[in-house]
A and B are shown apart, each in its own frame.
Chain A
Amino acid sequence: MLNLNIRHEIKLLSRNYWFISLTIVLAALCLYSGHNGLKHFERRQVDQKQAIENHQEKEQLLQEVALAVSKGEEHSLSFRLSPTNVAIFTGQLATMPADAISKLAIGQSDLYTHQMKIAANEDLATLSFNELNNPVQLLFGNFDLSFVLAYLVPLLIIAFTYNLRSQELESGRLKLLASSPINTNLWLLQRFIIRFLTLAFILLFTIVGTIFWVGIGISGELYVFLLLTFSYLAFWFAISYLANILGYSSARNAVSLLSLWILLVLIVPTIINQAANTVYPMPSRVTLLNEIREIKSELSKKQDQVLDEYLRNHPELIRKEGENAFGYWQGYFASQEIMEETLSPLIGKFDLQLSKQQKWVNSWGFLSPTVLFQYGATQLAGTSSLNYNDFKDYIKSFSLTWRAHFMPFVFDNKSLDINDIDNLPVFEYRKSLNFSSVFINISVLLIISVLLAASGLILEGKRQIIQLS
């Protein structure tokens, strides 16, 4: 029976105009969204390369000047070797390189910047990480593969499968089959499985095709991405199966599945988001601005005390007795550090609130499989808000290293020489991947799918008993 069933189903599908056109639509959507992801990635690469080149030019100039000075020559730009000049005007470049897998999910990468100049005079409290962009684009979002998979493919699954059982009932074929010596339930189950496998195969084929087309190398992350995708799609398969088994009319199946889609994909995420913002509201940034200024002006009033306090914390910077008469920059950096220490509880509130929001979203996200998928996908792609928070933390801690590196020079009033120029601290961002949270999402999706499918099977078994009795 299985053999016959497979052949029957394949013939049915291959002659089904609806099925073929939807397959073509699916392929087109995947390829087009892949193309968008690819273009976004390429632009990110080009921008980053440009920024790196610009910075290298600056560094080169610095090296030329240092070389000339080391040879004892006069150079009109020798002031560029002063520690404050190097620390502020040359600065260092912090970059967040793009992973090839980010072509699949643009995520938050259109909102945040990926290259930033680190300068010792920047206040960490007011660093802006936003990329220049048309806000309308941010509002609408991107048409990338993760959008197609999260929003559109579930609809295609529903369209393919909502009436598998009801159609047989409505066309009267089920009665005809019941009169023949086969187990109709088994026959139906086989049909489901064949239909699902065909669809899953087509999806796999188009998704993998898109992945190769945009050029993503095979990696652990890619496998996990595929696993995540299919766990998410398994949910929709399972829910559609259950709707079929519940045995209402085709029209009712369609309406209830689509309502569920609207609820889970569209409404629940916005409610969770709004709730997170309401339960854990962010403190006001505009209020913070003024608080920063107040602290700054207070510190500038008691400049001498500030320097004393600073030197107490940094005894290594104290020079020979009687020589501690420092100028503007020493005072500047001293008050900068003290200001940041004073501000850190205020800034901490923002981070705390954001992490609370994140926790809220993580725990309530289980209400919507779409949220689980989107979170996992952007994390794998390295474009989730968590990745950008990491990048921010890297920048903040590197900024401190960068500043601290120059303090001995500043307090010695000593310019940098060629050796010092070669040994400046270098920024490096490493994408940290929290596989465990992605696997939790995958497991939750799979468990829900299995539960749904199992309850469908149990229902089906019960029906058989009723039919027999």
Chain B
Amino acid sequence: MSRHGQFKWMFGIVILLSAVAIFISHKQWQEKSLQREQAEEHAKELWLAQGSTNPHNAAHYGTFAFKPQFPLSLIDPGVEKYTGVSVFLEAHSRNEADNVAAADQTGLSRFGDLTPDFILLFIIPLMIIALGHQSVTREKEQGTIRIIKTQGISSKQLIWGKWLGNFIPIAVLTTALFTLAAVFIGEFNWKLLVSMWLIYLVYFAIINGITLIVSSLTSNSGISLVTLLAIWIGSCLALPKVASSYVNEKYPYPTRQEFESAVAEDKRKGLDGHDPWSEASKLLEKETLESYQVKKLEDLPFNFDAFRMQKGEEHEAEIYIKHNEKLKEVHKKQTKVYQNLAFLSPFLPTRFMSMAIANTDYATHWNFTDVAEKHRVEMQRILNGNFAKNSKLGDWNYKADASLLSEIPDFQFETPAFEEVISANMGNLMILGAWLFVSFGFLFLASTRI
């Protein structure tokens, strides 16, 4: 094979593309990482620079939660391009993650980026097909299959030999690509990198199996190639798009406008921390007076304005949870469809597993926005608590000591542990395993038919 001109060319091109992809991704990754670190520090400085201020003013001033860049996003940026990277944390509202990179790019960005995952998911499978489609058909066409058989080599041995012969260079290439990426990344979790590498090897093993099955069952190289390419286009290009269109039709997300007005509607019905005249406020007033057994709000041991604001905050947080849960329900249904379709294409489970391991999948993003929301609620609790404890009713000019600002903990976003990622993606893993198993099974059957 090494003497085959086509093979050398292909190998050369793929290695060049991979090197370029890793190099560029690394450069962009470093830049983004630096920007985010700086922004985080800067945001903290600005937050603290408020000095002695009214806690509720500080709450409105707010701060940002930035999504960290994870090491393996260098190999697979997943959906990062389409999700926001920063959440504005302020009083009264849960903001969506903002600053979507794709919105700052030309329409060409929808064709995809030259990143390592593009090469792993699309180009290497093509290479496997190009290398393997004729491995059996050519023996048939040239009649060498009879000579091989006279040498006492069984069909089974022949097929598995071909399988290995085809797979080893690909495995070497993949390993080289991952090693190169690892060198560039520097610091990362070995478990994650190795499992990602294994996932791709399994993916390639499946494709290699399918290639050899088709090559054994067809009589000429042309038909074998066309069939394999049709399978490749169907499973890597068409099916994901079909899935996304189908999901969009069957379980659509509400528009941002709908979502926001539904939240606003619910908020309007409930307690507004700033509105002492609403029914909900009056009710809260009555209940609080009763439970503290005092007659006037002034007699309460805390500032009722701040207390009402905290109650309003809690109520609003619940509304956000409710609506986001609804959204998550839709998301779950959508994911289910993707998973069901994964039985039709080994591309889908690989795509999802790879993103999940790189922490660049949608679940990680949900997780990030949830943690940011928790942080926001906690921030409000501390600020309102200080306000209620240290001031009197109607005392909106109260200024808390500057140290209050540093009581707010730093925003921390930890990725789930390796075991959690794997268990959350058990479905995809099983489907990928099933694909491997079935491809080997069919390959065995095909070997009996040469």
Contact = CB atoms under 8 A, between A and B. Distances in A.
Interface string B227-265: 001000100011011111101110011111111010000
Contacts of B261: 54
Interface residues of A, number: 84
B365 interface: yes
Given A254-B226, A277-B113, A289-B86, 17 more contacts: A47-B258, A131-B256, A132-B256, A134-B334, A137-B244, A142-B244, A143-B238, A143-B245, A270-B112, A273-B114, A274-B114, A277-B105, A284-B32, A287-B42, A297-B50, A354-B104, A358-B106
Contacts of A107: 107
Contacts, number: 221
10 closest Cβ pairs, A-B complex: A135-B82, A135-B79, A269-B111, A140-B240, A286-B39, A143-B241, A285-B99, A385-B107, A274-B114, A284-B35
Contacts of A396: none
Contacts of A50: 258
Interface in B127-145: 130
Given A273-B106, A297-B46, A142 B256 contact: no
B226 A51 contact: no
B79 A139 contact: yes
A318 interface: no
Of B27, B61, B109, B334, chain A has the most CB atoms within 10 Å of the CB of: B109
A134 B86 CA distance: 17
Given A135-B83, A143-B238, A271 B114 contact: yes
A305 interface: no
A384 B49 CA distance: 43
Nearest to B49: A297
Of B64, B86, B103, B331, chain A has the most CB atoms within 10 Å of the CB of: B103
A465 interface: no
A205 B186 CA distance: 57
A115 B27 contact: no
Given A108-B107, A286-B39, A270 B118 contact: yes
Contacts of B126: 262
B28 A277 contact: yes
Contacts of B46: 290, 293-294, 297
Nearest to B251: A134
23 contacts: A32-B242, A39-B249, A43-B249, A43-B252, A130-B256, A135-B362, A138-B79, A139-B79, A143-B241, A143-B242, A143-B245, A255-B130, A269-B112, A270-B113, A278-B27, A282-B104, A285-B99, A286-B64, A287-B39, A289-B64, A289-B86, A297-B49, A354-B104
A47 B262 CA distance: 13
Nearest to A392: B103
A40 interface: yes
A270 B21 CA distance: 10
A449 interface: no
B102 A111 contact: yes
A293 B49 CA distance: 12
B96 A128 contact: yes
A113 B38 contact: no
B219 to A, nearest CB: 13
A407 interface: no
A157 to B, nearest CB: 13
Contacts of B50: 297
A350 B254 contact: no
A374 interface: yes
B157 to A, nearest CB: 27
B106 A36 contact: no
A262 B98 CA distance: 35
A254 B240 CA distance: 26
B243 A112 contact: no
A294 B253 CA distance: 36
A135 B258 CA distance: 18
B370 to A, nearest CB: 16
A111 B43 CA distance: 28
Nearest to A259: B130
Interface in B49-68: 49-50, 61, 64, 66
Interface residues of B, number: 84
A129 B248 CA distance: 20
Interface of B: 17, 21, 24, 27-28, 31-32, 35-36, 38-39, 42-43, 46, 49-50, 61, 64, 66, 78-79, 81-86, 88, 96, 98-115, 118, 122-123, 126, 130, 221-222, 225-226, 229, 233, 237-238, 240-245, 247-249, 252-259, 261, 327, 331, 334, 338, 362, 365
A250 B256 contact: no
Contact of B253 (A40, A54, A134, A365): A134
B225 A287 contact: no
A270 B39 contact: no
A155 B257 CA distance: 40
Nearest to A39: B249
A278 to B, nearest CB: 6
Interface string A134-155: 1111111111100100011001
A210 B258 CA distance: 31
Given A137-B248, A140-B240, A108 B253 contact: no
Nearest to A286: B39
A286 B118 CA distance: 27
B240 A378 contact: no
Contacts of A297: 46, 49-50, 61
Contacts of B254: 132
B111 to A, nearest CB: 4
B338 A136 contact: yes
Contacts of A317: none
Given A113-B257, A138-B79, A274-B113, A357 B24 contact: no
Given A134-B247, A273-B111, A286-B86, A113 B104 contact: no
A258 interface: yes
A117 interface: yes
A374 B362 CA distance: 27
B28 A384 contact: no
Contacts of A287: 35, 38-39, 42
A274 to B, nearest CB: 4
B415 to A, nearest CB: 17
Contacts of A110: 248
Contacts of B245: 36, 39-40, 142-144
A350 to B, nearest CB: 7
Nearest to A89: B264
Contacts of B32: 284
A178 to B, nearest CB: 25
B17 to A, nearest CB: 8
A111 B235 CA distance: 24
B244 A141 contact: yes
A239 interface: no
A214 interface: no
Nearest to B365: A135
A386 B252 CA distance: 26
B106 A361 contact: yes
Nearest to A155: B233
A290 B241 contact: no
A54 B247 CA distance: 27
A65 interface: no
Nearest to A113: B256
Contact of A258 (B225, B241, B243): B225
A441 to B, nearest CB: 13
A273 B241 contact: no
A286 B225 contact: no
B240 A284 contact: no
